[in-house]
A and B are shown apart, each in its own frame.
Chain A
Amino acid sequence: MSASFLAPDTEAGVAAAVAAAAAEGVPLGIEGRGSKRGLLRPVQAARGLTLRNLSGITLYKPQELIIAAWAGTPLPEIEAALAEHGQHLIAEPPDLAALFGSAGPASLGGIVATNLSGPRRITGGATRDHVMGIRAVNGRGEVFRSGGRVLKNVTGLDLCKLLTGAHGTLGVLTEITLKVLPAPSATGTIAVRVADLADGVRVLSAGLGSPFGVTGAALLPQGGVGLGGPLAILRLEELPESVAYRSVRLRDELARFGEVALIGDAESRALWRAVRDAEPLGATAEQAVWRVSVQPSAGPGVVAATGFGQALLDWGGGLVWLAGPATAAAHANVIAAATAAGGSFTLFRAPEPLRAAVEVLSPEPPALAEIGRRVKAVMDPRGVLNPGRMRAGL
């Protein structure tokens, strides 16, 4: 925790806070509303900067599929505003309050800075795919913009993408404009009881390779919704007539893999919310949690290689949530498994000493790491923005 906390309520206030930190050479620990403080490496910063007071929706045009809000806006506030017009956030960002044991809601800025996406990522795109515009403050305390408030824009370098998922190390996001879509009126799930995880991924691949527009494809090793595991679940979201028709078609196609059940609207929504928030992983408070991203067919191998009993596979099998002992040895296991599968890992949650001691993100090839250092030096020459959050010394 930082000794002092700044909580500006204007963008100019954020800029002034960063400019002062840069002038004094004082590192800043930056957070939205602090719901994911336990993510990645702990930041050693004498001063904190919270965006919680820079809050509120600044523009919402349902007909133009665009919403903009200050970075500190609580996510539920945005979701509620969208719901009033029958719209939703496409990437379905998770609510990780339970996982991180945090009290308050996530902020929009926090979700964008961490590029977190839920089950719909597999076909609908990630949070980063829907960031149409940003306003941000760089490490010199200068406000800058990238993108805008329209749905298609290739003017200049895409700094929206660069800052999304940069965990506040390249700039403090102040305002974000997102593309949104109409929320589907109906949801349904096809659940298939499978022999093992590899079989489960085959089911998910068959579903995702079908013409029926699957919008969620997860694998619950222990089962769920009253059905035993491993359980492959596939989601359909459309007009009710379409969900009804496609569920039956998909059920018939997947019956060759095992016992199939159809899950109705309300139960489906609850189930996918749980998957989104990694509840079926069942991580206990003492355990560490990892997210590994691999090609879907490699997901089961990652689970097997780590030897942890607890996993949850999303994104067709390509997103592997793991829970295991919070030790350096267990972490080394995950690194080895992810690397062997050609994927990337994130130590998502762990006690502070472990997070501080290990690499929490996949390393980059040396030539890319060097470019990364230069880009960091461009955006934050004094190194005051969340130093060490993603990687030691960056």
Chain B
Amino acid sequence: MIRLPEPKAEVMARRAEIVAALRAIVPGEGVISETLRLKPYETDGLSAYRQPPLAVVLPTSTEQVAAVLRLCHAMGVRVVPRGAGTSLSGGALPLADAVVLGLMRMNRILEVDYDNRLAVVEAGVTNLGITNHVSADGFFYAPDPSSQLACMIGGNVGMNSGGAHCLKYGVTANNLLGLKVVTMAGEVIDIGGRHLDAAGYDWLGLLTGSEGMLAVVTEVTVRILRSAEGQRAMLAAFKGIEIAGQAVDAIIGSGIIPVALEFMDRPCIHACEAFAHAGYPLDAEAMLIIEVEGSEAEQDLLLGKLKEICNRFDPISLKVAQTAEESLAIWKGRKGAFGAVGRISPDYLCMDGTIPTGELPFVLKRIGEMSAEYGLQVANVFHAGDGNLHPLIMFDANNPESFHKAERFGAEILKLCVEVGGCLTGEHGVGVEKRDLMGVQFTAAELDQQRAIKAAFDPGWLLNPAKVFPLEGNPAVAPAALPRAA
């Protein structure tokens, strides 16, 4: 069960004053304080937790963001930045005494520069919005989280999000050139620019994935890439999870790095097939979706080699798409995987640990055993090339006991990921969900050092203060315990 810090009584008492001051900065519809209209902001993609904020402010410019932050800084008000609110780890979960700073109205694409292969966009532009804007010219923005229709680039920076194609193209951090950010004190800072590897400390790298704790992002300069001539997918189904894991090893070992290499286990195959009718083999224990890029002839060459490798592992079926439509059909089930599982069980927790790929058979076997122990179903779908697991634990939200069991089961899985040499989160972030597990991966001194870096940006611990670090030792809860900051 996740706890949130006690609201500050003096802030709660000044609510009307704070709302009025926010209205003076962002006029009209830009400030929300009515109970009913706060509802959509009380949770994010981790919908088991809900907490209405003090107020929501939706600025339309960097200047307004800076003024809001200066105000909150001066009044000691906590701030939770928010993009689309699709975080699966509760990163955008409000606090009762916090202002939610939503960036969704800052949704303009400011510039596209094909010669320098970059785009300058406001933080509230959706991930897919960037690609859609440049795709007619043959370009795309590479990181493609499954939530790309909704999630925003500011949130992607907040979480350092990945996607199905990051095996080849990298995650958010690898595809950025510059940021415009505002500190909690209201100072506007340009980080990086339109060039690679700006001299000095890598602030761009540190801010990416900092989960809204260091500064608020208002503009992002992203790299855009020219799309390959074409792409095509194949599907390979196997008799066992272990065998499929060996096939993954053999593919990587052969020197071919597909653009995508996705893995689904039996429960997930069944859920997706029932949902999408993609023609997935229901007798398989594991299935891979493999995608390659290039000209038709290059695709044929690579798919031929991949087929030959998969054939060594006694596949139940091998299906190579012959056309773009057939590729889409293969992807259809995978892309709808979360929705498909949602049809079997409306409530599920999506885990996100990463493991060394060699540990795959062991970890999946253990998850299966735990599933039986906890009496909860689990479906596995994940990025096989990089070991980033997404076990979906199904539970019944109407039954509190079922939810608590699901949480304990999830925590067990993540601990297992760390035990075998992996980590708690590969792309969804720590948020509140994994906050109290941080001690499994880091020592107390390591956490203190990270907290002190947070404090170097935000000495008063006002910006998204209840995330990432365990509440014990969090200065937002017990100011006396402020770690060794300068």
Contacts and interface: CB of A to CB of B under 8 A. Distances in A.
B169 to A, nearest CB: 10
Say which size band chain A's interface belongs to.
35 or more
A164 B204 CA distance: 12
Given A158-B209, A162-B202, A362-B198, A152 B256 contact: no
Interface in A118-158: 121-122, 125-126, 128-129, 138, 142, 144-146, 148-158
Interface string A361-394: 1101101100111110111010000000010000
Interface stretch (A48-56, A103-111, A209-217, A269-277): A209-217
Contact of B449 (A66, A149, A378): A378
Given A295-B194, A343-B193, A62 B253 contact: yes
Contact of A345 (B114, B199, B428, B446): B199
Interface stretch (A218-226, A239-247, A325-333): A239-247
A344 B193 contact: yes
A362 B425 contact: no
B255 A185 contact: yes
Contact of A150 (B202, B295, B386): B386
A375 B201 contact: yes
Contacts of A164: 202, 205
Say which size band chain B's interface belongs to.
35 or more
B249 to A, nearest CB: 4
A165 B424 CA distance: 26
Name which of B194, B196, B422, B443 has the most chain A CB atoms within 10 A of its CB. B196
B198 A150 contact: no
B396 interface: no
A151 B198 contact: no
B374 interface: no
A63 B195 contact: no
Contact of A377 (B166, B354, B443, B486): B486
Name which of A158, A185, A390 has the most chain B CB atoms within 10 A of its CB. A158
A315 B388 contact: no
A213 B115 CA distance: 16
Main SS of chain B's interface residues?
loop
A378 B226 contact: no
A35 interface: no
A156 B202 contact: no
Interface stretch (B19-27, B37-45, B282-290, B451-459): B451-459
Nearest to B208: A158
Interchain residue pairs A-B with the least CB separation, the first 9? A161-B205, A377-B486, A182-B255, A374-B456, A152-B426, A151-B386, A295-B194, A367-B187, A361-B199
Given A64-B357, A138-B449, 17 more contacts: A126-B196, A128-B202, A145-B442, A146-B446, A154-B426, A154-B428, A154-B429, A155-B441, A156-B450, A157-B206, A157-B450, A161-B202, A209-B139, A242-B298, A296-B116, A343-B195, A377-B456
30 contacts: A64-B387, A65-B252, A121-B197, A142-B449, A144-B445, A149-B421, A150-B387, A150-B426, A152-B171, A152-B426, A153-B423, A153-B426, A155-B434, A156-B446, A157-B209, A157-B450, A157-B453, A161-B208, A166-B202, A182-B257, A205-B114, A211-B228, A293-B199, A294-B194, A342-B195, A344-B193, A371-B183, A374-B456, A378-B452, A381-B484
